[in-house]
Structure 1
Amino acid sequence: MIQARPQPGDIGLTQINGTVGRLIRFGQWLNGNGFADYQHAFLVLPGDRLIEAEPGGARVAPLDSYAGADVVYVCPSGLADADRDRICAASSAYEGVPYSFLDYLAIATHRLRMPVPGLRRYVAATGHMICSQLVDQCYQDGGVRLFDDGRWPGYVTPLALYDQLAD
C-alpha cells in the first residue's frame, strides 16, 4: 500500500543519480527487475528520522534528507502500530552495518540458478547489507514477513519491495 504521509515503519523508495544509481539499476536488471525507477530503500523511524544502508555503512539520518526528492512510501496493508514499533526497534541493531555491491551479484547469481556452492551462507555471513536487505531484515526481526515466495533472506532489491507493496 502506498502511503501519502510517511509513518514510522514505512519504507521509502527513491532514485539515485549518477554512477552509483546506474550500477544499482544494472544490478537490479541482472536480478530480473529491469531498469526500474527505484534504486534505494530506507526505513522511516520515529522522530522524523530514517535508517538507510550507505556505502560507508548504515546510518540514521533526518527524514528531510530526502526533502524535494521523488520518494514513494510503501508498507504492507493493515500494518499494526505494534508491528511498526517492533520493526523500528529492530533497526537499532543495524546502524553501521557495512554495504556491499557484491550482494547484487549474489542475488543475480541465485536468480540465474548458477551453481555457486556456499552462496547463501556467504550472503548471510558477510554481515553486509544493501539498502533493501536492511529494510527487509528489520521487518523480519520485527515479526513481519514481506515476502512469502520462498526467496532466501536477503535476496531483496528496492524494486522487489515496490512490486510487493505498492497498490
Structure 2
Amino acid sequence: MPGDFCLVHATGRLRDRWMGALVQWVTDSPCEHAAVYVGHVDGYDKPQCVEARPGGAGFIDADHYTGRALWSGGRLPAHLIPTDAQRQAIVAAALAKVGTPYGVLDIVAIGLAQRRLGSRVDARRAIAEQPWWVRRLMRTDRLICSELIDLVYEEAGVHLFTDGRPHQLVAPSDLWVLLGSPIGWWS
C-alpha cells in the first residue's frame, strides 16, 4: 500500500552496490537498503518507490523489488500502522524528498553511534553541544535510505522509534528489527 516501506539488498550500478555494502558493514545490518512505496506518479507507467541513493533521492519502479523485498505491510506493530491520512502524508513527504542528496557522512555517524558512542548523547543538551555525528544526523539536507523512511514517517505523525535516540539515528538494521527481525527473508 502507499506509504509502506521495504528492505532489500542493493543492486544495480556498482556505486549503489558499493554504498549498500558500506552501509551493511558499518551498521552491522542484515540488509542495506530501504525504499518507500508511493504508487503511481505522473510521468511513470509503473508504480514507484522513492529511495535515497548515492545520486540523490529518486524514483525506482516498485516491481524492481518484486520477490526480494521485505515489506512493512502486515509486519509493523499495531500502534505504528499508518492511517489512510498518514499514508497520504508519508507519500507526500517522500515525493518532497526527491532530489535530496545522499548522506555518506550519515553512514559514518550512524556507525559511530551504533558502536556504543551513543552514550555521549544527551537529548537535553543543545544541538551545538552535541558530538559532530549527532549534529550531522539532525540535518535533513542529506539522507541515507533508512533516514528517509524515518523522516517521512515522522513528518506524517508516525514515530517509528520512541527510545530517545537522536532524530534520524536509524540504520536499515533498525527498520529490520522493527519488522520483527525475520530470519531468512532475503533468501
Interval containing the TM-score (normalised by the shorter chain): 0.7 to 0.9
The aligned residue for residue 8 of structure 1 is 2
CA displacement 1:51-75 (0-9 Å, x = unmatched): 000100000222122235x111014
Q: Select the residue among 132, 136, 151 that pairs with 2:146.
A: 132
Q: 1:89 aligns with which of 85, 88, 92?
A: 92
1:103 partnered with 2:106: yes
Alpha-carbon shift at residue 91 of structure 1 (Å): 1.3
Match of 1:142 among 136, 143, 156: 156
Task: Provide structure 2 residue ranges, at least 5 long, that are not aligned to the other structure.
Answer: 12-16, 41-46, 121-129, 183-187
What is the Cα-based RMSD across aligned positions, in Å? Answer: 2.1
How far does residue 21 in structure 1 lie from its aligned partner after superposition?
Answer: 3.1
Instruction: Could you tell me which runs of 5 or more consecutive residues in structure 1 were left unpaired when the two chains were aligned.
Output: 1-6
Aligned length: 154
Bigger mean CA offset, 157-166 vs 142-151: 157-166
Q: Does 1:113 align with 2:88?
A: no
Moved more, 104-113 or 53-62: 104-113
AA aligned opposite 1:110: A
The answer to whether the 8 Å contact 1:74/1:162 transfers is no
Larger radius of gyration: 2
| Identical positions, percent | 33
Distance 1:73 1:95, change over 3 A: same
Q: Deviation at 1:42? A: 0.3
> Do the aligned partners of 1:98 and 1:127 also contact (CA within 8 Å) in 2?
yes
